[in-house]
Structure 1
Amino acid sequence: MSRKVSFAVAAAVAVGLPLVSAAPAYAHGYTTSPVSRALHCKQGTVQNCGPIQWEPQSVEGPKGFPAAGPADGTICAAGDSRWAPLDDPRGGQWPATRVQSGQSFTFSWTLTAAHATTSFRYFITRDGWNPSQPLTRAALESTPFLQQDYGGQRPPSTVSHTGRLPNKSGRHLILAVWDIADTGNAFYQCADVDFG
């Protein structure tokens, strides 16, 4: 290799390095109310979760749900195989937060890195869904029962949204979706609830 070519390669690498290290910090967060599967893993309430126990805030995948986003069966893990234990229904035995049909409920997030936000949306499973199967779009109501729009604003590190739960009975799953405004991603959190 000639000295001119070697110098050109070294210069290109040197110029490119600052660009790689200057990547923006991405948002991260998880739901604390109702307690998400990711948080149950972090707290040790559920075992054999893999690396999600150290990174409950990292369940990030493509946004655009339900038209786009993670594939059916991988929704709770945001389509990321590192978090696949979140998609395992564990025979419908994930710990569930007790709630009441139609009650006012406050949904809470802990954000470890806030980001410009489009919205927070909350979906719930349909009556008759099967809690022993991985989550699919067909198992969810087609529209969110609660949505909070942020218009690109950056939320604080602790975020709460209050809304009325749908009229349901028995076990259900709530999918919380945090849509990021300035990236192509969203954060997904699945929380098991029991309406009794």
Structure 2
Amino acid sequence: MRKRIAAALLLVAATTGAVLVHTGGTAAAHGSMVWPGSRTYLCYEDGRAGGGGGDLNPTNPACAAAVAQGGKQPLWDWFGNLISNAGGRHREIVPDGSLCGPTTKFAAYNLARADWPVTQVQANSTVTFRYNAWAPHPGTWEQYVTKDGFDVTKPLKWSDLESVPFDKVTNPPLANGEYAWQARLPNKTGRHIIYSLWQRSDSPEAFYSCSDVQFGGGTGTPDTTAPSAPGTPVASGVTSSSVKLDWPAATDNVAVSGYRVYRGDQVVATTATNSATVTGLSADTSYAFTVVATDSAGNASPASASVTVRTSTGGGTPTGSCSVTYSRPSTWNGGFTANVAVTNTGTSAVGAWQLVWDFPAGQQLSQAWSSTVTVANGQATAKGASYNADLAPGSTATFGFNATTSGTPVDPTAFTLNGSACAVR
């Protein structure tokens, strides 16, 4: 694939007199879904076929309309549909109607049309997703599908997608320039969009793609199969009045749509993810919680195993132990780069971690990655991104930042994680 694209670019240079210049710098990740093909990829291939081996000349009506609106460069860069500073904030920074092309460059691929290139798929089948790795990096892929009744001739909104991904994979196998992994398609019929998000774990950069598919082979019968029981919940962030619960996800023959957290026979929290925070608890009190999964047909799973939690006596400080490694790999006149690694050395998971340290006068934050960092009243607070916000026992989250300084940088000597002091290494 790389050789074909490189050859095509050289041909453009030869036939148009264009000069291709490499500006250097660090390579960014690039890639897109090639099966089922994303709009940008299939329009690129359509353009190659229509161009007869020369320039890109799409003949598919939707692809031609996208070129008429946004030009051909997005097709040459079909693997670059990205937001560089997304950091897991997809629903916050990508507005409805812009899911397929969240930046100006790729906006034409949001056109609400029924004639985009379509991939035929079989409902409930196990398939191999293939994702081009133009520049490979670690991260997590999530695949969503549109809800029943979705109308492709209307702009795609977040609410058009099922609330949870039907497929999710972290660091899938890489070979021959592609990531490839197996997934089970949902039980759908007719025309839909499979929406893929790739969030890098070593950078806030994220990639987006829409694959138009036509489902066949659906059962056509009501879904009466309940999800499996969720895994045993794990408690973290215990205070005098609240506790965060995380649990291994349930499975379903179609898709899990949500979870209910019970205390006895009372529902105390609902969520679309396998995590929830229960509030309104009493101090120094034992509580037992279970979790039930549900699907879109209303089927409910058996309850998970119970977890018993005793709230703290007061103060609202979460429990846990931690260590921090702080380093400055680069320092220059007037600024520096810092890398931070925070490790959960305790025996319970730490949810929605927040790391706090002193930020001396004369230093000013200019950029951060793999976390959200804010500075106020002489203190810096780093919060985990959506993809690294929870720390299981023994796990480490890494992030970094750039800062300016009016003098020699001073390294912090004390850190607290969710209110607990950390060892500094």
Measured in 2, the distance between the counterparts of 1:64 and 1:143 equals 15
Q: Which runs of 5+ in 1 are unaligned?
A: 1-20
Task: Check if 1:166 corresponds to 2:186.
Answer: yes
Which one has the bigger helix percentage? 1
Aligned 8 A contact 2:145 2:195 in 1: yes
Alignment of 1:91-130 (within 5 A): 92-115=114-137, 117-130=138-151
**For 1:91-147, what per-residue CA distance to the aligned partner results, in whole angstroms no more than 9, with x for missing partners?**
x221211111101111101111112x2211111000011110121110000111011
Q: Compare CA radii of gyration and give the structure with the larger one.
A: 2
Q: 1:83 aligns with which of 106, 109, 114?
A: 106
The CA RMSD over aligned residues, in Å, is 2.0
CA deviation map 1:127-185 (0-9, x unaligned): 011110121110000111011113xx995531112111000000000011111112212
- Distance in 1, matches of 2:87 and 2:40, equals 19
8 Å contact kept, 2:80–2:207: yes
Alpha-carbon separation, structure 1, partners of 2:24 and 2:43: 32
What is the aligned counterpart of 1:32 among 27, 31, 34?
Answer: 34
Quote the offset at 1:63 in angstroms. 4.2
Please say if 1:54 is aligned against 2:70: no
* Pairwise CA distance, 1:187: 0.5
Contact 1:169 1:194 in 2 (8 A): yes
Contact 1:177–1:189 (CA<8 Å) still a contact in 2? yes
Amino acid at match of 1:32: V
Distance 1:42 1:22, change over 3 A: closer
Secondary structure of the structure 1 residue equivalent to 2:128 = strand
Match in the other structure for 1:188: 208
Q: 88, 98, 107: which is aligned to 1:64?
A: 88
Q: How does 1:137-152 map to 2 (within 5 A)?
A: 137-150=158-171
For residues 104 and 65 of structure 1, do their structure 2 counterparts lie closer, same or farther at Cα, with a shift above 3 Å needed? farther
Q: CA 1:63/1:125 → structure 2, altered by over 3 Å: closer, same or farther?
A: farther
> Contact 1:38–1:56 (CA<8 Å) still a contact in 2?
yes
In structure 1, what is the Cα distance between the partners aligned to 2:133 and 2:187? 29
Q: Quick check: 2:173–2:181 contact (8 Å CA) kept in 1?
A: no
Distance 1:130 1:166 in 2: 18
Please give the TM-score of this superposition, normalised by the length of structure 2: 0.38
Query: Is the CA contact 2:129–2:180 (under 8 Å) kept in the aligned structure 1?
Result: yes
Per residue, is there more strand in 1 or in 2? 2
Letter in 2 for 1:59: N
- The answer to which structure, 1 or 2, has the higher relative contact order (CA under 8 A, 6+ apart) is 1
Call closer, same or farther: CA 1:65–1:192 in 2, change over 3 Å: farther
Identity of matched residues, %? 32
Q: Which amino acid aligns with 2:201?
A: A
Is residue 133 of structure 1 aligned with residue 154 of structure 2? yes
